[in-house]
Amino acid sequence: MNDILSAIYRNLLESRFSASLSCPDYRRAIIRVEQCMDELRQALPAEEQELPEQFWDACSDLQLHEMEVMFQVTWTAAREI
């Protein structure tokens, strides 16, 4: 992404995106994810306790890249219209 798109993306992510995630369904999904992570941690032996966090970090990185691509595709489509 170029500098202008990066600035727009960051602004949307920090302002509008966060406000849009305040719905009850999203909060329920977050609670469910946290419950699953807690259950997974309890089920794993002590030497493997870092695995869920590593997995979560990798999933978060993947989601961030997907969001950036979606933003770029949407921006390109909007310009073409």
What does the pLDDT look like over 18-60, one tens digit per residue?
777 778 888 899 899 999 999 999 999 989 989 988 999 999 9
Q: Which domain holds residue 37?
A: 22-80
pLDDT band at 14 (very low <50, low <70, confident <90, very high): confident
Structural domain contains residue 4: no
Residues 51-79 have a mean pLDDT of 89
Model pLDDT, residue 22 = 76
Examine residue 41 and state whether it is found in any structural domain, yes or no.
yes
Sequence-distant (≥ 6) Cβ neighbours of residue 56 within 8 angstroms = 37
* Cα separation values, 41 from 14, 47, 50, 59, 73, Å: 30, 11, 9, 17, 37
Is residue 12 in a domain?
A: no
Domain count, the chain: 1
The reported pLDDT for the residue numbered 1 is: 66
Please tell me the pTM assigned to this model.
0.66
Q: 61 in a domain, yes or no? A: yes
**What does the buried/exposed string (b/e) look like for 37-52 if buried means 16 or more CB atoms within 10 Å of the residue's CB?**
eeeeeeeeeeeeeeeb
